[in-house]
Amino acid sequence: MRLVDWLLDLLFPPKCPFCRRLLDSGKDLLCPKCQRDLPWAAGAQGEKPVEFLDRCAGPLWYRENVRHSHHRYKFSGLRCYARPYGLLMAQCALDRLGEDFDVVCWAPLSRKRLRKRGYDQSKLLAEVVAHRLILPADSLLEKVRDTAPQSGQTDAAARRANILGAYRLRPGKSAEGMRILLVDDVVTTGATLSECARVLRTAGAEAVSAVVLALTPEQK
């Protein structure tokens, strides 16, 4: 271990992002218990069909410690979670989606929401994913209309209506002929990812797949 890493671990003991137990090293992503017990979305269950996407996959189910951890990341300023989250997502993309991508982009926040939160949680994830996959991360999309939170919408139809027309290709950007990996934090009905993918395909993208941290289980 490098001296600087040892000092950082001493001053800021690394913690598991899901249960907040101390980790042996800052190089560890998770504690052994979470590696074993988290609600992993295994096999075909870890993929969700979403309109306009070729494939959509995530490593975890959005419940229990995953949901609590994500809330800390998204609403309590724990940006440091982006690294372990993003590395889990990158491995999921390698395992389930392959390596055939040209660029990584993300479903961005509106300017109003970005000012309020101070950071774009999906952008941070996309940058980690892109670095791990040795791909460029590019802000191909922008959100041109501030929408009500998707979590407050009652059903799939309401989510689609809420997000329709909220995104566009950023001026000066091109998606023509590109194979794009789209990043977001959580997928529920897939309305946000679907709208982003629709914009990218309309702009000429050859293929669009998505990777997320967690999938919300279907309501029965």
Which residue has better confidence, 36 or 155?
36
pLDDT band at 44 (very low <50, low <70, confident <90, very high): confident
pLDDT > 70: percent of the chain:
89
Residue 29: half-sphere exposure toward Cβ, Cα within 13 Å: 14
pLDDT confidence bin for 11, thresholds 50/70/90:
very low
- Look at residue 161 in the predicted model and tell me its pLDDT: 79
Residues sharing a CB contact under 8 Å with residue 23, sequence separation 6 or more, in sequence order: 13, 14, 15, 16, 30, 31
CA distance linking residue 133 with residue 130, whole number of Å = 5
Q: Residue range 23-43: average pLDDT?
A: 90
The yes-or-no verdict on residue 12 having pLDDT over 80 is no
Task: Indicate the pLDDT class of residue 151, thresholds 50, 70 and 90.
Answer: low
C-alpha to C-alpha distance for 192 and 162, rounded to whole angstroms: 9
Kindly state the percentage of the chain with pLDDT values over 90: 73
pLDDT for res 158: 76
Residue 173, both tokens:
């950007």
Residue 56 confidence (pLDDT) above 60: yes
Higher pLDDT, 220 or 155: 155
pLDDT over threshold 90, residue 219: no
DSSP per residue, the chain: --HHHHHHHHHS--B-TTT-PBPS-TT-SS-HHHHHHS-B--GGGGB---TT-S-EE-SEESSHHHHHHHHHHHHS--GGGHHHHHHHHHHHHHHHT-S--SEEEE-PPPHHHHHHHSS-HHHHHHHHHHHHHT--B---EEE-S----GGG--SHHHHHHHHTT-EEEPTT---TT-EEEEEEEEESSSHHHHHHHHHHHHTT-SEEEEEEEEEPPPP-
* CB-based contact 99:133 (threshold 8 Å): yes
Determine the pLDDT at residue 163: 83
Instruction: Give the pLDDT score at 198.
Output: 97
Per-residue pLDDT tens for 90-134?
Answer: 999 999 998 799 999 999 999 999 999 999 999 999 999 999 999
At 206, the amino acid letter reads: E
Do residues 217 and 62 make contact, with C-beta atoms less than 8 angstroms apart?
yes
- Please name which of 122, 119, 120, 167 lies closest in space to residue 141, comparing C-alpha atoms: 167
Lowest pLDDT segment from 21-35, 139-153, 156-170: 139-153
The terminus-to-terminus CA distance of the chain in angstroms comes to 49
Split at pLDDT 50, 70, 90, the class of 157 is confident
* Mean pLDDT on 140-152: 78
**Lowest mean pLDDT across 41-45, 185-189, 195-199:** 41-45
